[in-house]
């Protein structure tokens, strides 16, 4: 089995029980861990080192940090968590399960990594982000984060005024087209085997959006490797410098089946996420979710904010449980009859 090398110096996995384990080392996970560590909680972030925005150029849409490279943001985040005593451990979660306890005992969870190491936690924050599912078009993936973009807010300004193509994946692509039309006057909508009603076609025509119904067969690259266009099933090549794709987004669930977290599908085949309530609460006591694992459309700033909120809400029941335990200890053993 191939050994994956950590892209950064990994902390040691602690022995014993920690207050919280965070699965996922992105904006949501690190900010949740930061809030817990600043509350003097023992917290461990389990990070696989494969963030969703790894292929992306500088991150945009987050005030103060607009234009910062994603790896640098994550590096600074890890160091800030460590500054308050938190640990960031490189590894992949193989399993996460609640520990069977008596009714009057506080919650416990066992998190086991792919290499066999394990840690016990009182609470769990799931911040595993999501996976973008792309249409099966040859050579499409290699352009992701550059000439193939997903979000008009993260990358739209950088591709403004370019010849852009919308490669349809679901009904959500119609809305996607309207957003990207704001950024360029040269927009082509490739239906790619999906249906498009006459009302939408009429609206597209009024907005100057060209519609092509012939399916896209493959990507056409320029001599320098940049995206030059797409080749249709009939052999025609349509020149495009950028393709915008409303991907299907799937929350990363690997290793988390044992938590039995409820999932839900979003409308228009947009994706599947962990269901959650206020501040990332779930139906499973002691488990919270934050970031793109539950809010598939959240940008970096929103994910970070969600992680912060979840972290503070995890600390509150821990404080109550600590008080309950101290009170019970102060009362001493029950008198014998």
So where are the chain's domains? 17-131+248-331, 135-244
CB 132 within 8 A of CB 247: yes
- Better-scored residue on pLDDT, 198 or 1: 198
Could you report the per-residue pLDDT of 170-180, keeping only the tens digit for each? 999 999 999 99
Token code pair at residue 52: 């969703």
pTM confidence score: 0.90
Residue 55 pLDDT more than 60? Answer: no
pLDDT at 101: 79
Residue 49 pLDDT more than 90? Answer: no
pLDDT band at 334 (very low <50, low <70, confident <90, very high): low
CATH topology of domain 135-244: FAD/NAD(P)-binding domain (3.50.50)
Lowest-confidence region among 13-27, 130-144, 240-254: 130-144
150: left (phi over 0), alpha (psi -120 to 50) or beta: alpha
Could you report the per-residue pLDDT of 262-306, keeping only the tens digit for each? 999 988 888 999 999 999 999 999 999 999 999 988 889 999 999
pLDDT at 139: 85
Looking at the chain, how many residues does it have?
Answer: 337
CA–CA separation, 296 vs 287, rounded Å? 19
pLDDT at 2: 46
Residue 337 pLDDT more than 60? Answer: no
CA–CA separation, 182 vs 187, rounded Å? 10
CB 137 within 8 A of CB 218: yes
Torsion angle (degrees, nearest 10) of CA 310, 311, 314, 316: -110
Domain 17-131+248-331 has CATH 3.40.109.10: no
Give CA separation, 227 vs 43, 119, 147, 154, 243, in Å. Answer: 44, 46, 6, 19, 9
Residue 61 pLDDT more than 80? Answer: no
Other C-beta atoms lying within 10 Å of the C-beta of residue 289: 31
Nearest to 262 by CA among 292, 305, 294, 303: 294
CA–CA separation, 150 vs 160, rounded Å? 14
pLDDT at 176: 94
Other C-beta atoms lying within 10 Å of the C-beta of residue 150: 20
Task: Give Cβ neighbours of residue 214 (< 8 Å, ≥ 6 apart).
Answer: 232, 233, 234, 236
Token code pair at residue 246: 């409303």
pLDDT at 149: 92
Residue 52 pLDDT more than 70? Answer: no
Could you report the per-residue pLDDT of 3-17, keeping only the tens digit for each? 467 778 899 999 989
17-131+248-331 against 135-244: fold identical:
yes
Partners of residue 187 on adjacent β-strands = 164, 209
What does the pLDDT average to over 220-248? 94
Name the CA radius of gyration of the chain, rounded: 23
């Amino acid at each position: 089995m191939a050994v994956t090398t950590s892209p950064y110096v990994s902390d040691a996995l602690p022995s014993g029980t920690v207050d919280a384990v965070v699965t996922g080392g992105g904006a949501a996970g690190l900010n949740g861990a930061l809030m817990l560590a600043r509350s003097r909680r023992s917290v461990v972030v389990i990070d696989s080192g494969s963030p969703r925005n790894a292929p992306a150029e500088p991150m945009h849409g987050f005030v103060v940090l607009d234009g910062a490279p994603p790896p640098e943001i994550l590096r600074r985040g890890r160091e800030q968590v460590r500054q308050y005593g938190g640990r960031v451990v490189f590894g992949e979660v193989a399993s996460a399960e609640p520990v069977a306890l008596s009714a009057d005992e506080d919650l416990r969870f066992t998190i086991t990594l792919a290499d066999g190491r394990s840690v016990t936690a009182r609470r769990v924050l799931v911040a595993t982000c999501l996976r973008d599912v792309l249409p099966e078009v040859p050579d499409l993936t290699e352009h992701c984060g550059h000439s193939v973009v997903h979000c008009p807010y993260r990358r739209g300004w950088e591709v403004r005024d370019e010849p852009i193509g919308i490669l349809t994946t679901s009904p959500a692509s119609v809305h996607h087209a309207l957003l990207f039309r704001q950024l360029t006057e040269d927009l082509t909508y490739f239906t790619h085997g999906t249906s498009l009603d006459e009302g939408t076609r009429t609206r597209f025509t009024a907005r100057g959006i060209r519609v092509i119904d012939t399916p896209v067969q493959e990507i056409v690259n320029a001599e320098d490797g940049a995206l030059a266009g797409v080749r249709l099933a009939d052999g025609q090549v349509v020149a495009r410098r950028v393709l915008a794709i409303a991907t299907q987004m799937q929350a990363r669930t690997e290793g988390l089946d044992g938590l039995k977290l409820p999932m839900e599908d979003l409308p228009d085949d947009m994706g599947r996420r962990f269901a959650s309530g206020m501040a990332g609460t779930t139906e499973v006591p002691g488990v919270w979710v934050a970031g793109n694992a539950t809010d598939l459309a959240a940008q970096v700033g929103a994910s970070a904010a969600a992680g912060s909120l979840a972290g503070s809400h995890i600390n509150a029941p821990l404080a109550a449980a600590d008080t309950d335990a101290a009170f019970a200890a102060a009362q001493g053993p029950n008198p014998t009859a």
